[in-house]
Amino acid sequence: MTKETKDIQKKYQVGVEATLEVIGGKWKPLIIYNLMTGRKRTSELRRLIPNITQKMLTNQLRGLENDGIITRKIYKQVPPKVEYELTAYGWGLKGALDSLCYWGEDHLDKVHGDKSKVLEECNASQN
Amino acid sequence: MTKETKDIQKKYQVGVEATLEVIGGKWKPLIIYNLMTGRKRTSELRRLIPNITQKMLTNQLRGLENDGIITRKIYKQVPPKVEYELTAYGWGLKGALDSLCYWGEDHLDKVHGDKSKVLEECNASQN
DNA sequence: CAGTATCCTTTCCGATACTG
DNA sequence: CAGTATCGGAAAGGATACTG
């Protein structure tokens, strides 16, 4: 193996891993997906993602914010109001996420049958 | 939220998750990447991925095999010889993995600077 | 050479209670 | 309403020793 091959191999690995750190985890894809339909309050996200705990929601939102995927806007009022919104940078993930969705749906169909409507559903987040 | 939206949301989530189950984990992307350059013996993979333990290598290979991504060919001889190879189905992951690599490299560059050669390296696995 | 078994650490994540 | 703190279980992964 040449040094160049080793470098490329490493780049490939760290590239993939870097993305998986941003969109991986149990809830991040779903949070991003829901923000693709527009800015949302914390309570809206909780309603849209019923099974997530408050702790995990905050965790994942902070992670996405630190990676520049979303913004967090705080309205100084009582009771508090916070809104999350995808950044332009975050929208750049759409292609990768759609790839994952499409392949995954296709894969599940291969295992379980029923191949209808795969494409439409994976692209349903489009504007 | 309409029932349709809920369904699409769920599809999106399970699709992404299904793919992440196949290519997720610490070593699977790198194993797939290395198999993109051709069939490999177990010992070759160990050499190509120096930090992986035998346990994890076997683990991940079994997972990929169960998902139909790779085949395992056993030569009945002493000492044993086993070769792993990407299936046509496994090659279907290339697009998704490249998306992840590309975005990840781009993201790392955004954080660390040095934007050179991103495209080439992510596409280096091409034939 | 290829794979298995065991033990251990680390990380992820859920449940619950609490605060401004 | 939004967020924090703490506890505990489950799962992923690493180190090591062993087998055919």
Residues 6 or more apart whose CB falls under 8 angstroms from that of B95 comprise A99, A103
Place of tokens 């969705």: A101
* Protein residue at shortest CA distance from C1' of C14: A53
B68 in helix, strand or coil? Answer: coil
What band does A77 get if pLDDT is binned at 50, 70 and 90? Answer: very high
Looking at the predicted structure, is the pLDDT value of residue B44 above 80? Answer: yes
pLDDT of amino acid B94: 97
In this complex, the nucleotide whose C1' atom is nearest to the CA atom of residue A58 is D3
Q: What is the mean pLDDT of residues A45-59?
A: 96
Can you give the distance from the CA of residue A26 to the C1' of nucleotide D11 in angstroms? 13
Is A8 in the B-facing interface, judged by CB distances under 8 Å?
yes
Torsion angle (degrees, nearest 10) of CA A84, B102, B104, A125: 20
Burial of A4 (0-12, 13-18, 19+ CB in 10 A): exposed
Looking at the predicted structure, is the pLDDT value of residue A5 above 70? Answer: yes
pTM: 0.91
Q: Nearest to residue A20, comparing CAs of B54, B22, B66?
A: B22
pLDDT of amino acid B30: 97
Q: What's the pLDDT tens digit per position in B68-124?
A: 999 999 999 999 999 999 999 999 999 999 999 999 999 998 887 655 555 667 776
Protein CB footprint (7 Å) on chain C nucleotides = 1-6, 12-17, 20
Is A99 in the B-facing interface, judged by CB distances under 8 Å?
yes
Q: CA of B76: how far to CAs of B35, B59, B68, B83, B86, in Å?
A: 22, 22, 22, 12, 21
Q: What is the mean pLDDT of residues B11-37?
A: 96
Torsion angle (degrees, nearest 10) of CA A17, B35, B27, A122: 50
pLDDT of amino acid A114: 56
Query: Which two tokens mark B109?
Result: 């560059």
Tell me if B104 and A33 make a contact (CB, 8 A cut-off): no
Strand arrangement of the beta sheet that strand B40-41 belongs to: B40-41, B81-86, B70-75
pLDDT of amino acid A3: 83
